[in-house]
Amino acid sequence: MRKFAIAAASVLLPVVVACELPSIDVQEVIETRSCTDDAVAMQVFVESSGFVSNVSFDGGSPNVLGVPILLGQGGGIFIIAELDSVDTGEAVTLRYSARVTMLNPLTLTTSQIDFFKSPWDGSGAPDCNGTEAPTFTLATNALFDLSLQITNPGSLPLTLAMLEFAQASSALPSESLNWDDPQFNSLSWYSAIPGGTTLDPAGSPVVIDLPDASSGGSFVLCRCISVYDGLEVRGIVQASLTGSPLTVQRTTWGAVKAFYRR
């Protein structure tokens, strides 16, 4: 089983549902589990319609050697990490911070989560079949002022086992963005979709209407679990509601919607 835990998006996962305009600061954790023995490298490809800047590596699990490489390709970034001979089922964690520019629509896709038994050089085939995570799009549509739309970018069915949001008055430490962390799990999480929702390839999106006002927290968090071709993918993102250089007060859900009505 593999786990992807986001700056989704992971990454960067569009936790941008409650952000300062026109850009947001995010923290993301990527966690995967190797599907082969003796893996010495892994890659993750992240593609966003928004401009991603100020990317910094905030640390990784002990089996990550050195600082991962970031390689731009088209509208996305390959994250390449050197590993210390990771075996099947062993977890690998990468932690990142970045700033993402708001666009309408704002789309994020995470794909090609692959492991290699040989050093990565961009030409060799992975030793595991790549998996897919959901595509997230923040946009307006005919039914809602502002919505989060989730689609399946792959060729096989994708199941959404969990999609939950929470708000916090202060940022959680990077090390607390962890599925097993008590502080992380003690937040008031609310579910955005029924567990077990299935997305067909090239099918209609799951559409989530966003509320008009925040509940007062300065930070918003998202956690997502999906399953594609039997492989589990997890995403966690923490985004700041404050700090944009172009605003002086906290943006509410209503202000985000107003931006997308332009």
153 contacts 131 by C-beta, under 8 angstroms:
no
The count of other CB atoms within 10 Å of the CB of residue 196 is 10
Kindly tell me the burial class for residue 123, based on how many C-beta atoms sit within 10 Å of its own C-beta (0-12, 13-18, 19 or more).
Answer: exposed
Mapped onto helix, strand or coil, the DSSP state of residue 175 is helix
Distance CA 213, CA 94 (A): 32
For residue 170, the 8-state DSSP code is: S
Distance CA 133, CA 128 (A): 16
Quote the pLDDT of residue 217. Answer: 59
pTM: 0.76
218 contacts 172 by C-beta, under 8 angstroms:
no
Show the tokens assigned to 140: 């307006």
Show the tokens assigned to 238: 């923490």
Show the tokens assigned to 211: 């509320």
Mean pLDDT, each 10-residue run in order, the chain (262 residues): 33 37 76 89 85 84 93 83 93 85 77 90 83 81 67 91 90 90 94 91 84 62 87 84 38 43 43
